[in-house]
Amino acid sequence: MNIDLKSLTTEGRNPNTFGIDIASTEEMISMINEEDKKVAFAVEKEIKHIAKAVDLITESFNNGGRLIYIGAGTSGRLGILDASECPPTFGVPAQMVHGIIAGGYEAIFKAKEGAEDDINLGEKDLKDINFDKKDVLVGITASGRTPYVIGALNFAKKIGAVTIAVTNNSDSPVQNIADVGIAVVVGGEALTGSTRLKAGTAQKMVLNMLTTGSMIKIGKAYENLMVDVQSTNEKLTQRSKNIVVEATGVDESIAKEYLEETNYDVKLSIFMIKSKLDKKTAQEIVNKNNGHIRKALNEVINK
């Protein structure tokens, strides 16, 4: 695939940083910072599409599907980063959100730029993880034209899976393939073509929204608290106590008692305290309401 780089917004020269190579260190960093300030406003313009994507991912999760990220280079690494943070944050299985990068495991640490040009490799990598129509595929590509991602999206589309594209150029090939196109156009980079800068920041913000939004919608939050956080280290154990205290108003010693009784199940501890039910009964009601604390409490209140 021949790519006319001059036609890509992400490859355009930024007139605000022509002198970045002769600027003082503070001036240089200020230039980059001024460009970074534009990212959130660019993301804001895509809220409607991001929200639609979140609803589709939520539906997939509720039907036993997975969220699969796929990309090359920086885009692939960002997908892997977001996926790897979901189990400790939301208490979900590692395979529920999965990141794939062109070139495989080695490419996470060392660039394998040629891998992104293989249009058949994306399909192969999806078949290797038994990707099926219950899953959602999010293709991430700054240019919107990466063959590896295009091949993956075409395969996902062919088997009937939901497809989402995250890109930084408007009217790109991946947008025309995907069911939902999210194009966060941030303009030319401070360093021309270095899409690990604004484009990468924009992608990270979008991926944060996709997983955080869908996890909230499947019951992984109560108010704005992470109630399925895993207590896998000292910091997270203390956070678990703090969450129970914040959600219920009990003191830390009481929170600790409940957490120890539930094997540090934050959600169950909160529900037991607020509902005043025993562990077995509380667990049954939480399960019945698919882990949504508010729904479970409404059931108790309305009895």
Q: Is residue 35 flagged as an active site residue? A: no
Question: How would you label 103-139 residue by residue, b for 16+ Cβ within 10 Å and e otherwise?
Answer: beeebeeeebeebbebbebbbebbeeeebeeebbbbb
CA distances 156 to 10, 51, 52, 177, Å, are 26, 21, 18, 10
Which stretches within the chain are classed as H helix?
Answer: 25-36, 39-44, 47-62, 73-90, 106-109, 121-128, 147-158, 173-177, 198-217, 234-248, 252-261, 266-275, 279-288, 293-301
- Using DSSP's 3-state secondary structure scheme, residue 268 falls into helix
The one catalytic residue among 85, 257, 261, 299:
85
The one catalytic residue among 11, 35, 46, 116:
116
Q: Is residue 234 flagged as an active site residue? A: no
Active site residues: 85, 116
